[in-house]
Structure 1
Amino acid sequence: MKGVVLDFNEDTSRGVIAADDGRRYEFAGINWLSERYPGSGMHVDFEAAETSAENIYLDPCYVKHPEKERITAALLAFFFGWLGVHKFYLGHRQPAAIMLCVSLGGLLLFAIPTLIMMMVGFIEFIIYVTSSDENFDRVYIHGNRDWF
């Protein structure tokens, strides 16, 4: 059966899948059989047993490549981070709009706010470059962390 991971708690190693049949199935981390760590929004294929999911795999049709996303986001943060372009790329629209407005508005205020946004973009570039693909995917793609 196919479904989407709604939530996964790393502390308890338990999660919930919304299946195509309209039901929700709970699962334990031990039933996760893919290399990448589970995260909300991941499309999966699994075996349903009463109210639990077993033998869970990522659906190959929906597998993203976090390395490409991480490198692209890092390059965008380095060159255009002060405008929030990397945040638009990752789908974080509100923080991206804030960075864009502060940067462009800062040009009228002796460029001090723009310099601050440049520092934020550079810090995020360093974070993206130094994080692993799995951590980047878990924190910035599926975890939807907006800042740092």
Structure 2
Amino acid sequence: MRGQVLGVDARTGAGQVAGDDGRRYTFGPDDWADRGEPAIGAYVDFETADTRALSIFPLPTAAQAVAVPAATPPRPRTDRNKFVAAIIAFLFGTLGIHRFYLGRTGSGIAMLVLTCTLVGLIVTGPWALIDTIRYLIMSEDEFAERYRR
């Protein structure tokens, strides 16, 4: 009879085959007659005894169904480091240098111009401190997504 391997326990080698007759058959590691291990989705030829599959051989010409894990999307990449940005923001934040580092030239120029006035210094100080904290608590993926070039 022919069928398809439904599952295999990696620890024990026991598994289950769905036969072409619509029934399910169990097998043990001794029932696998080929070198190697049974693969989930493999099409096989086997003999039956009640609910057991015996002398199981993989079919070499049949297309093998292979379970492919779902592809994870690639992580966004950036050439900037969030810790470096946080240190620059903490040390030189009122000048907006961390903004230039991250490619945010417009807000960097705004911070630099505001720093030249006393009122602007009162604004850019907390702004830089908030940026420092925000960079440190932001996840790596979020930082890379937001500040990639």
Query: TM-score, length-normalised on structure 2?
Result: 0.48
Instruction: Mark the structure with the bigger radius of gyration.
Output: 2
